Amino acid sequence: MERRSDNTPWALKLQEVSLPDSEEGWKAMATILDKEMPAERKKRRRWLLLVLLLPLAAVSGYLVWWQHGTTSTVSSSRAGNLPRKPGTSPILPAGTVKTNRGTAGSGEGTGVNGGEAVTTRESVTTRESVTRVFARRELRRSDPGKIIYLGIAGPNLRMPKILHSNDPLKCPPVEQERKSGWVVGIGLNQSIPVDGQQVWTNSSGGLNTWWKDYIPVPFVRYYFQPKVFLQAEARIHAPQFTPKTLWFYYRYNDSLTTWPMSIKKFFYYQLPLTIHYAPTPEWSFGIGVQYSHYGSGIVAATDSGVYNNYYRYIGSLSGYPMVFVHQNELRALVSLDYTYRHWIVGMSYDQAFTSVLTVRVPDPAANPQAAVVYAPPAVRNSSLQLYVRYILWDGRNLPSK
């Protein structure tokens, strides 16, 4: 059979096309790359990166060299100051040689003279000055500056004991211990009537001057320890109110009787002395004794009735010799104080151990017709005081607020 010829026009066209040479293709590709991505631009980028990295590398190298030199200098200077045992040679910095003429660095300004290293004075001076400079610079770096005391720690701290604390995170606060010392101040007292007493406000012809009832009261304290202190006061003109039942009748030699004589008020000089316990820095309570010395008294006579508000006579109790007032007496005293900074407010109550007075005929032989028609009951003085005080001077070593 004869082969049938292919008369397809596409096949004929493909046979006429000739493929280009491979070398010509690579040349065309290089031409296109040079046009789109020239080599000069790459070189420029490399040079720019190199210019930026060189200064950075130089600065880093200088910092590393400077830090290494400072550290070695300080360590060598510290090594030279270390304590050494007797008979041993001192520790010298690295790179130095001990000679009979001084200390020098190896290789700088040294020579050999009779087997001994000779160091010039200039090299030693230069090296010492450089060492001092670096040491001062390191000292300025390590100096923390002025230390401010924050009150967190100190020599006067008192750590309270932890008694069977189950929680380790609950620690008691640290308190500043108060040392023993003296405290001096001044205050004002106000008397309050108690136990059936009456207030006497009548001027009494100059016998009852109101401002004398408020003479300032000085006081002094001594702290044995932070919670225990002893206190003393001086009440120069302390008023003492009396109950309404303190009155009497008296008959003279001429068989005449007095009017009902009512004793209205006493005045004392008092010296309270108490010992106090302060469970907290603010509150304290005390107990003690008070010495009272009688000064004067006021008596008033009524026309009719003991409780009449109109008095026909007001005078001093010293004009009635039948009334014997106990000149000295002791009283029991309790008090409660509250302290806020330099101010103290509180109250105290005192009561005498014995009765205040006795009414009797002064001399029955000289006054045979005199008699006591009515004698008052046995009454013991008592007083309630409200006061405010101010601390003028505190000798204890207390923390500042």
The string of pLDDT tens digits covering residues 242-277 is 998 898 988 888 877 778 889 999 999 999 999 999
User: pLDDT tens digit string along 314-340?
Assistant: 899 998 989 999 999 999 999 999 999
- Tens of pLDDT, residue by residue over 208-253, are 888 999 999 999 999 999 899 999 999 999 999 999 889 898 888 8
Question: Any idea where the domains of the chain sit in the sequence?
Answer: 43-80+94-111+118-145, 178-394
Q: What is the pTM of this model?
A: 0.55
Q: How far is CA 273 from CA 149, 192, 241, 257, 303, in A?
A: 40, 20, 21, 44, 43
Separation between Cα atoms, residue 62 and residue 71, nearest integer Å: 14
Task: Tell me which long-range contacts 138-147 makes (C-beta under 8 A, separation of at least 24).
Answer: 138/70, 138/73, 138/74
Token couple for 296: 């004067």
Distance CA 300, CA 203 (A): 12
Candidate from 64-73, 122-131, 241-250, 392-401 with smallest mean pLDDT: 64-73
The fold adopted by the segment(s) 178-394 is Porin (2.40.160)
Q: Residues near 348 by Cβ (< 8 Å), separated by ≥ 6? A: 272, 333, 334, 335, 336, 384, 385, 387
What tens digit of pLDDT does each residue of 43-95 get?
666 777 777 777 878 887 777 777 666 555 544 554 454 444 455 444 444 44
Question: For 28-42, how does the pLDDT look when each residue is reduced to its tens digit (9 = 90+)?
Answer: 777 776 666 665 555
Q: Strand pairing partners for 335?
A: 286, 348
Angle, CA of 318, 302 and 327, to the nearest 5° = 25
How confident is the prediction for the chain on average, in pLDDT?
76
Which residues, other chains included, contact 220 with Cβ-Cβ below 8 Å and sequence gap of 6+? 182, 183, 184, 185, 231, 232
Give the contacts of 99 (CB within 8 A, at least 6 positions apart): 116, 117, 118, 119
